[in-house]
Copies of this chain bind each other. A is one copy, B any other.
């Protein structure tokens, strides 16, 4: 069982419309063991909808002043790390499901058109399928250095490729772009990822980004940042890239004041108490 939650505070100089992707993904709703309800404070009308990527979104107009978005829920966790299937085949474009095709195309932070030759040069000789996606992850993981100071909102896959520094999202954008350039559908994913079964990170807990690649007959989780199967990943949203699945999108000024995320394993005793 995992306890999930967040506490996010903004200061708004004026009323502002916002869209939040702060719920567990519909594909994981059946695993919830407590309501997954974003609390908005001060209380206001919140409208929920499913976007064109299948994510659960919330919309509201926050008034001037402090705004707090928080949540605390429980979710069943299988205790099984990200599945690994080395025999998963690469599917030629003509056999892909229609809805996977759009994850072959360009997006803001994934300039597939600028990577077609580069990707082929780097990974064209790797056996297709799982091993090729894994080779992309290995490459990105080993070539890019992580650091919070390297984050910036406009950073694209090409920037990551030349600068070789970045945060979670940058690792995934580069890997997603390489996959698409190799005609493997890939989509950006965000969600909870606690330090379960791994050494605790010294960094404050944040939401995490990873990506999914379509192989054989389904989407599989890959993570070019951590590059090893992890426990307790809980998906919130998928899209073409970070622009599609921002945790919050504000149509006006919203100054972030405080931000914390919780994602931790709880044992039954704890739960009972």
Chain A residues close to B by CB (< 8 Å): 17, 19, 49, 51-52, 57, 59-61, 92-94, 98-99, 101-102, 104-115, 117-118, 143, 149-150, 152-154, 158-159, 161-164, 183, 243-244, 249, 251
* Chain B min CB distance to A170 (Å): 13
Closest B residue to A108 by CB, please name it. B106
Residue pair B114, A52 in contact (C-beta under 8 Å): no
Min CB gap A238→B, angstroms: 13
Cβ-neighbour of A61 out of B49, B94, B104, B161 (below 8 A): B94
Q: A52–B162 contact, CB under 8 A?
A: no
Chain B residues with CB under 8 Å of A153's CB are: 113
CB distance from A256 to the nearest CB of B (A): 14
Q: A52's contact among B52, B57, B110, B150, by CB below 8 Å, is which?
A: B52
7 A-B contact pairs sorted by A residue (CB < 8 Å): A61-B94, A93-B251, A106-B243, A114-B163, A115-B162, A117-B164, A150-B152
**A135 to chain B: closest CB distance in Å?**
15
Is the pair A49, B98 in contact by a Cβ cutoff of 8 Å?
Answer: yes
Q: Which of B108, B152, B249 contacts A152 (CB 8 A)?
A: B152
A244 to chain B, nearest CB (A): 7
Smallest CB–CB gap between A119 and chain B, Å?
A: 11
Residues of chain B with a CB closer than 8 A to A249's CB:
105
Smallest distance from the beta carbon of A177 to chain B beta carbons, Å? 11
Using known A-B contacts A154-B111, A163-B114, A163-B154, determine if residue A94 contacts B59 with beta carbons closer than 8 Å: yes
Tell me whether B243 and A105 are in contact (CB under 8 A): yes
Which B residues are CB-close (under 8 A) to A159? Answer: 154
Q: Please name all residues of chain B whose beta carbon is closer than 8 Å to the beta carbon of A158 when the two chains form the complex.
A: 158, 162
A23 vs chain B, min Cβ distance (A)? 15
Chain B residues near A110 (CB, 8 Å)? 108
Please provide the 7 A-B residue pairs with the shortest distance between their CB atoms, ordered closest to farther.
Answer: A106-B108, A17-B94, A114-B162, A93-B251, A17-B93, A106-B243, A49-B98
